[in-house]
Chains A and B, each alone.
Chain A
Amino acid sequence: MRARPALTSLIGACAVLVAACGGSGGGSEKGIDEPIKMVGLWEVKGESAAAIDDYNNGARMAVEKINAAGGIKGQKIVLERVAADPLNPQKATGQFLQAVDKDPVVMLGFTASSALLASKTQVDRAGIPLISLASASSPLRFGGPGGSEWFWVVQPSDEFKDQATVRFAVEQLKATKIGLMGTNESYGMTNTKAVAAALKQRGLTPVATRNYDPTATDLTQDVLAMKGSQAVIAFTYPNPLAVQLKQFVQNGMKIPTISSSSANIAANNKLVTGEALSLLYGTNACAPVGSKNPATNAFGQEYLRRFNQIPTDLAAESHDAVYIAKAAIEKAGSTDPEAIRKAMNSITVTPQQGIICAAEYKTDGAHFMNHTVSIQRFGTDGKSTEMITYQFPPTEAAKG
């Protein structure tokens, strides 16, 4: 059957109509006259193999605080949620469209960059501002094929995290012999390569680079390959990280390991304890519990009290995303998506405006908003203390 031109153009017209209707957001140019609907694209515990409650809890805490103080320009925020599967990009795109059908003013979330990347064409078409909580990988940079003028990224970019890790290892731990370990899929491979390049820039070559299967229960050969290093940088998931750390201790190698949010999860869930834990460092956007910043610490304590769980930086960033949305809507003065988009590109959100996980949020050329990275150290009691924070310059837009 061939496409019938008349029907096709009719369909095209309908699609355009739907797009137009979907993008308005229910506000007027003059002001905000109804509650502000935000939709979070995340799961809660139990909905998939990777689901954690942090995003939902962090955002809810922010919404409650804002609503208690009167809302945004007098209107309360209504936060809804659509579960977006981080492991299945096609399904996530469908779920994104469900969220779009709810007609929100602002969308928060996607917890995995692969889901965001897969949905990018739909994000473009929907024309609703999206504040992403996924990790900021370089394909997402604005200006490149994966970037979009309709989303902004709250997490510090992976490049920043890698550079912060290298700086910490070299400057603070005074290590010249550094080993790299990671999983053998995209997260691990991307970052081990990036760190190897960063080391090369400083004239250092890694002692060894090992990528292993995330389901491995025996990492002996990889661990032994790290012999002689003064620090190990690991890009991995909580389980293999636990295996790795235990085997380091078992083989008598007392080498500090710097990992990312996997370190928090491993520590918070007591996957690693005792001596292995005291050698662990984590690179994150911020450390909600144990931060030098009193506001961040307060958030962490409040979260711990309410939900009986130590929050990761993801909860704090989810909290901040709501405040960023608030600042943008206030600057725009309305819920018109185009006005909000312009506002997002021009505002600088400061701690006075309620954020807790970065020194400030300001959109750079790549639509990345967070330029702060912090390194924490874990103690044998499982609590972390913040060692140092690094600030980074803005990232430029990708070319082509």
Chain B
Amino acid sequence: MDKFIALTAGGIALGAVLALVALGFLVLYKATGVINFAHGDLITLGAYIGVWTVADLGLPTIPGYVLTIVLMGLIGVLIERVAHAPLRKRPAMVVVIATLAAAIVIRGFISVWQGATPRALDSPVGGGVLRVGGANIAYQRILILIVGAIAVIALLMVFQRTAFGRQVRALAADPETAQLMGVRTKYVAMAAFALSAMLAGLAGLLVAPLGAVELNFGFGLMITAFAAAVLGGFGSLGGVVAGAMVIGIVQQLVGGYVLPEYAATYPAIVLFIVIALRPQGLFDLARSRL
């Protein structure tokens, strides 16, 4: 029984991280129609910047994390200016390539800056555990849950209540009309890139203390999160969160009890089956910018 609780808790924590990553992805997609190949590397970059501020610069945790997130936001804007704004008139595939190029550059930069040796980021809540029904759940995972939940709710509020959110939804529904109605696509795009990068950075900061940070850290997360986004419906935030939870729990529970060696392939298999069965796209066709 305690194994079940431990696995479920792990699954929920994983789901929370995936939701955070997938939402970062989705925010950008809804606002600009861009599939950001560089998202995984942004996660890695966020984690490394976190290590730099806390371990190398010696800042205390909260200022260090805040600084990291701010820097990530700026990097997001930079990517928008370089890889998106000049390509606005081009087909979407070209923008995807540009984000891929950005991913390669980010990777190269991290490689030169930090090298190949993995770095550690200490957990801000320490390495202790909470005992729940006989299972030990690390404080860091609980932190992930709490922060993840806050972030998701905050995002939902932003999208429902604020002007920015309305503009993003308008752009998502009908770009031309939105522009005619006065939505400033340029600023919305910059804000969306910044927000997406900040979410990626936050995800990196949360997951890093679980293990260590190295170059491929974010890529695997991005792929799994993409599976979650596709599963849950690429259009709605709520669906993405649900998809992330399902993937996280499935991977942990099914991986724990059934054929554990192949656990890493489960998201891939689920993805394939979903796409085979519901190929019309799990989102509004008219919205498709691909």
Contact = CB atoms under 8 A, between A and B. Distances in A.
> Is any CB of A less than 8 Å from a CB of B in the complex?
yes
A249 B127 contact: yes
Given A212-B263, A218-B13, A221-B7, A250 B129 contact: yes
Interface in B104-143: 111-112, 115-120, 127, 129, 136, 138
Contact of A216 (B213, B215, B219, B264): B264
Contacts of B112: 46
A243 B217 CA distance: 13
Contacts of A194: none
Given A46-B111, A220-B256, A213 B117 contact: no
A50 B264 CA distance: 22
Given A250-B136, A270-B120, A46 B7 contact: no
Given A48-B111, A220-B7, A220-B252, A215 B220 contact: yes
A270 B207 CA distance: 17
Interface in B240-290: 252, 255-257, 260-261, 263-264
B211 A243 contact: yes
A265 interface: yes
A115 to B, nearest CB: 16
A213 B263 CA distance: 8
A240 interface: yes
Interface of A: 45-52, 184, 210-213, 215-218, 220-222, 224-225, 238-240, 242-243, 246-247, 249-252, 265-266, 268-274
B237 interface: no
Nearest to A253: B136
A184 B264 contact: yes
B212 interface: yes
Contacts of B256: 220-221, 224
A188 to B, nearest CB: 10
5 contacts: A213-B264, A215-B216, A217-B211, A220-B256, A271-B212
B42 to A, nearest CB: 16
A12 B50 CA distance: 58
B136 A251 contact: yes
B116 A240 contact: no
A305 to B, nearest CB: 19
A206 to B, nearest CB: 14
Contacts of A250: 127, 129, 136, 138
A269 B117 CA distance: 7
Nearest to B136: A251
B136 A49 contact: no
B116 A269 contact: no
B22 interface: no
- Scoring B115, B136, B212, B252 by chain A CB atoms within 10 A of each residue's CB, the highest score goes to B212
Contacts of A243: 210-212
A273 B123 CA distance: 12
A240 B216 CA distance: 12
A46 B215 CA distance: 11
Given A221-B263, A250-B127, 6 more contacts: A215-B217, A218-B14, A218-B210, A220-B256, A238-B214, A271-B119
Contacts of B46: none
Contacts of B14: 217-218
A363 to B, nearest CB: 31
B3 interface: yes
B148 interface: no
Contacts of A45: 115-117
Nearest to B9: A220
B10 interface: yes
Contact of A46 (B115, B214, B255): B115
Nearest to A251: B136
B215 to A, nearest CB: 4
B120 A271 contact: yes
B212 A224 contact: no
A266 B117 CA distance: 9
Given A49-B116, A218-B14, A221-B7, A240 B211 contact: yes
B6 interface: yes
A213 B115 CA distance: 22
Contacts of B111: 46-49
B21 to A, nearest CB: 12
B7 A52 contact: no
A218 B263 contact: no
A51 B115 contact: yes
Nearest to B130: A250
Contacts of A210: 260-261
A48 B127 CA distance: 32
A76 B190 CA distance: 59
B261 to A, nearest CB: 5
Interface string B210-231: 1111111101110000000000
Contacts of A247: 138
A269 B118 contact: yes
Contacts of B118: 238-239, 242, 265-266, 269, 271
B32 to A, nearest CB: 28
Nearest to A246: B127
Interface in B69-106: none
B266 to A, nearest CB: 10
